[in-house]
A and B are shown apart, each in its own frame.
Chain A
């Protein structure tokens, strides 16, 4: 069911006149109802598409039958009060649910005092307060009196981890990190010494590079207080919030804050539970879409996929990864139908204008009154006509409208124009439209320049129309000067080799290979050891209880029997040449394979401890070794009287300042297994923060219910493990009891962290980067979690960061999904705006090679210009960094050429 918008989307130009004239102010849900907007609105300033709509429930015309102000003032006649609800039926072969979450509503819980105290806000409200487009324009003030807060407190786990009656049992996964982030941003925002305190139970900064951020926050003076607040009180005069809590020593502390932020968790909205019923997909006990460890984006109903927080609390990178993963699932179902519904567009032949004298056409847009109301458009037009090489200048009410486009194409042909300038709104949204018109008129799309006399002129200089007009003339003159030097550019097509290379034969690599093969692509799978399976070969059970070995052997045999997958065991890469679509990789057996894309899934490995008597006493094992004992059904485990788990062995220490993400859950699961084997075994877990994120929290609760004892230690006071006359003694200081404890275990399990493989050589071959810890770096930590900055190479599994099986699988599928976007096109178009080298001028200094983030420049290997730089247009992103840094003037950026920019500078 499509809701009516009451706006004709094709006519709305998002000028905002309607909202300006609309007399009805309503609460703005985008700003968590802390600010106001009109009854005719766009959700937020960067909404796509940027088109208005009317809120029927608030609009005066719909409520009282009077007003119609928007209709009267809309310059394009886009208002349509008759718009009706529309039933839309779509034919689809697969469905992806990415419906997300809502935040926990704390208002009915008296503990949090959210509903009654003005200066208690939720974390989402606080995000809006910090935002430049928020209710206070980004000024950090508190709601009660708009004063700058001197002291802000964050209260963690609101609605999560079963803290209160009706809170959820699971951990919401993201709140620790966002609270640290909000505190850090607040510190940056405040030009005074802001006191920021975070009240927490376990600090769960388990994501990639999160632990370092947490450490940095401590250095910035953010206070981390391990305590639960038991009361919040409001000072009736000042509206300050007084909090009372027991500190780590058990002493009662009282502090007063100017405002408190509730770090609210995630939950599935009630209406989504209904939708799930309609769709017939299963939900788990927490109302999240039920998925499996080995099928992380599949719902219980075939053909329906899920991604994001609807299948459990998660952060942005994980959600983005799952989105691609779900797309891979859907793509698999639909691969036979690929390209069956596409239509081809007829494009007229391009007119050759090389050698012609420039004949510029200038088209100036009034944008209704948006430009025309301030800038004197006719005078700009008349001025434009006097500029050198200008053949034709005109203005129109809306240059972007369909009929204006047709007129423009006609004029280009009639007047024989070979360069076009449009002075209107922003090229960011409208450049492609005008370029299409050029192409339709038989011109190359690059003999075009757009200048912005709306967003960057008329709209921002309302008070001085004369100055705005003068500025518009300058801008048009600059654009004309540039366009006269623009040349037609070619977009070259490159064939994409349809074969794929997967490096690494662990779970991530095998899933990637299998998914590629199922989509019809041929895969080379290279594994450095003699067998497939990787780290999973050492695991007994997943945290959800699935038997890893049976699932793993199924996967291995399906990969080994797959005709599309060619497996190279005991093999390493020795050299990689080429670029996206055309890689040539040499293996250590001198075999050369050609492929269009590559997936890097080299995994990680267990840190081998040298602490806590490891290697010196057989009773001290790592948790992978314990898994091996479980797998072998080792009888000794039944007789263990006292077992001690030590967490963060090799992780979260100065030498390796990252969290290995999986160890807490692994130890908790193993602790439960020990208890299942023999309920009389005493099990102790010595930890720093228990990081059983998401629904793994329920496992932590189960362990405590089964009598597993959790004792916290700090980095400064690590446990001491000694061999005293043949028995092992573990000593630790208990933070709650504030005294030393000694345990004599007959089994010590070290939760040793995960370290990366030696990735340096591979990184150099594919021109990838690794972070300080040695893990591969993705193109963007949040938004491109499986891409590399180098095109055509993708990342999956623990080579990226330590992670559990389900996340490795999701990432492997996501990497394939991203790779298929290249493979399916069969050809890549290379943009015309790329750098170009003139080998005659080049001094072979290699600055361009060193500076380019995309590895586009290289030295020519043979021929007369050997040793001079050349740019691979397939890799070049057109940023111009090399051009600016070339000391010989040998480089130029097509479309933003030095002469073209100089021409603009000249005209100012």
Chain B
């Protein structure tokens, strides 16, 4: 259900991340956290707030 949102938002896909991690998978949590941080960092600051504001309104 959530996956359909990606196109809805219309911003770089790397900014929005989904994952499924069970409560026992601490290492997976850390791995995913590192990936997410790296992927968002690589994209730089989100600069199109105005555009999104228009989209939301």
Contact = CB atoms under 8 A, between A and B. Distances in A.
Interface of A: 45-46, 132-133, 137-138, 885
Contacts of B27: 132, 137-138
Interface in B2-50: 23-28
B49 to A, nearest CB: 13
A132 B28 contact: yes
A132 B25 CA distance: 7
Nearest to A885: B1
A45 B26 CA distance: 10
B6 to A, nearest CB: 16
5 contacts: A132-B24, A132-B28, A133-B24, A138-B27, A885-B1
Contacts of B24: 46, 132-133
Contacts of B28: 132
Interface residues of B, number: 7
Contacts of A138: 27
A558 B27 CA distance: 56
B17 to A, nearest CB: 16
B1 A132 contact: no
A137 B1 CA distance: 33
A773 B24 CA distance: 32
A133 B25 CA distance: 8
Given A132-B27, A133-B26, 11 more contacts: A45-B26, A46-B23, A46-B24, A132-B24, A132-B25, A132-B26, A132-B28, A133-B24, A137-B27, A138-B27, A885-B1
A560 to B, nearest CB: 48
B26 to A, nearest CB: 7
Contacts of B25: 132
Contacts of A133: 24, 26
B46 to A, nearest CB: 12
Nearest to A131: B24
A137 B31 CA distance: 12
Interface of B: 1, 23-28
Nearest to B25: A132
Consensus secondary structure, chain A interface: loop
Nearest to B1: A885
Contacts of B23: 46
A99 to B, nearest CB: 25
Contacts of B1: 885
A9 B28 CA distance: 31
A132 B27 CA distance: 7
A537 B25 CA distance: 49
A852 to B, nearest CB: 13
Contacts of B26: 45, 132-133
A416 B1 CA distance: 44
B57 to A, nearest CB: 15
A889 to B, nearest CB: 14
A743 to B, nearest CB: 52
B5 to A, nearest CB: 11
Nearest to B26: A132
A188 to B, nearest CB: 13
A137 B27 CA distance: 8
A849 to B, nearest CB: 16
A455 B25 CA distance: 14
Nearest to B27: A132
Nearest to A137: B27
Nearest to B23: A46
10 A-B pairs closest in CB distance: A132-B27, A132-B25, A138-B27, A137-B27, A132-B28, A132-B26, A46-B24, A132-B24, A885-B1, A133-B24
Nearest to A132: B27
A88 to B, nearest CB: 32
B1 to A, nearest CB: 7
A138 B29 CA distance: 13
B40 to A, nearest CB: 13
Nearest to B30: A460
B16 to A, nearest CB: 14
Contacts of A137: 27
Nearest to A428: B23
A132 B28 CA distance: 8
A491 to B, nearest CB: 25
A652 B24 CA distance: 35
Contacts of A45: 26
A45 B24 CA distance: 9
A832 B41 CA distance: 39
Interface centre among A45, A132, A133 (most CB of B within 10 A): A132
A140 B13 CA distance: 31
A400 B23 CA distance: 24
A885 B1 CA distance: 9
Nearest to A139: B27
A85 to B, nearest CB: 33
A621 to B, nearest CB: 49
Nearest to A44: B24
Contacts of A46: 23-24
Nearest to A46: B24
Contacts of A885: 1
A640 to B, nearest CB: 56
A338 B24 CA distance: 37
Contacts of A132: 24-28
A45 B29 CA distance: 15
A42 to B, nearest CB: 14
A138 B31 CA distance: 12
A91 to B, nearest CB: 37
A824 B28 CA distance: 42
A55 B9 CA distance: 56
Nearest to B2: A884
A861 B41 CA distance: 53
A198 to B, nearest CB: 26
B39 to A, nearest CB: 18
A137 B30 CA distance: 13
A836 B1 CA distance: 22
A616 B24 CA distance: 57
A760 to B, nearest CB: 26
A790 to B, nearest CB: 22
A700 to B, nearest CB: 38
A137 B28 CA distance: 10
A850 to B, nearest CB: 12
A46 B25 CA distance: 11
A46 B23 CA distance: 10
A780 to B, nearest CB: 13
A138 B28 CA distance: 10
A91 B5 CA distance: 59
A45 B23 CA distance: 11
A357 B24 CA distance: 41
Nearest to A138: B27
B9 to A, nearest CB: 15
A885 B5 CA distance: 12
A767 to B, nearest CB: 21
A885 B4 CA distance: 13
A189 B1 CA distance: 27
A452 to B, nearest CB: 13
A95 to B, nearest CB: 32
Nearest to B33: A460
Nearest to A45: B26
A736 to B, nearest CB: 45
A185 B51 CA distance: 45
A45 B27 CA distance: 13
A133 B27 CA distance: 8
A138 B24 CA distance: 12
A46 B26 CA distance: 11
A660 B26 CA distance: 39
A658 B28 CA distance: 34
A25 B53 CA distance: 57
A133 B23 CA distance: 12
A137 B26 CA distance: 10
B37 to A, nearest CB: 12
B33 to A, nearest CB: 9
